[in-house]
Amino acid sequence: MTEKLHAPVIDWFDSHARDLPWRRPEAGPWGVMVSEFMLQQTPVSRVLPVYEQWLARWPRPADLAKEPPGEAVRAWGRLGYPRRALRLHGAAVAITERHGGDVPTDHAQLLALPGIGEYTAAAVASFAYGQRHPVLDTNVRRVFARAVTGVRYPPNATTAAERRLARELLPDEDGTAARWAAASMELGALVCTAKNEECHRCPIAAQCAWRLAGKPEHEGPPRRGQTYAGTDRQVRGKLLAVLRDAHVPVPQSALDRVWPEPVQRARALDGLVTDGLVEPLPGGMYRLPLG
């Protein structure tokens, strides 16, 4: 079955893949890496404008490494999960110091960069350098769960069985494997979606174990929902927005105005400081981090 999946999915990708800037040759490995950081838990539509601005300002890792980490947080804007900005800045510094400013080609060296985990290392090695690695994001995991395992949704966290299946499904040839990784991801993003899947558009619908089983409902643990309103994440975002808009330190009073509940506001601010996203100064002043 494995080989029967490859050709139709890759052929579909060749005809239907979105023209995204990080897929163009001029993006280079750094453009691929930036996109992978930004796309984690964030839709393409929100990433596109920030990505373009980021690459225009910092076309190489060394350009970002020269800036204070707070500038990365500022440029991250409202993409959410701003610790990703700090991690990307840390990776840029390490690339500049350890690899002469070039994103390393070796998977182990990618994995050794700060802020880069199993998924991102595999994605950069695959998409930037055409290497053979299993690339397991949420979209790919959902495609594999349905097409091969016959269940509607994958587990909440990636399992050893999923990693084993992803390795088994990898084409043998490097370039084909890299294409398969991108194609299966795109299939999950555009057709085999979490809700309202479009099986009539799917190139492997006739082989899909879940469809052939009658699309049984999800029987595992409840899927995690993402709430935002009223959470500490929302408060953190409001506090960071004040600091991003200010190019000088701001007083505590300016931060106090963004959220009426003092205990939650203080907890959110403490969390930002602990995460290195906000730097406290004497006299009750705060700023984005300089170092």
Q: Which residues, in sequence order, are CB contacts of 11 under 8 Å at separation 6+?
A: 203
On whether the CB atoms of residues 88 and 34 are closer than 8 A, the answer is yes
| Residue tagged active-site, from 3, 26, 36, 67 | 36
Residue 36 bears catalytic tag = yes
On whether the CB atoms of residues 117 and 141 are closer than 8 A, the answer is no
Catalytic residues: 36
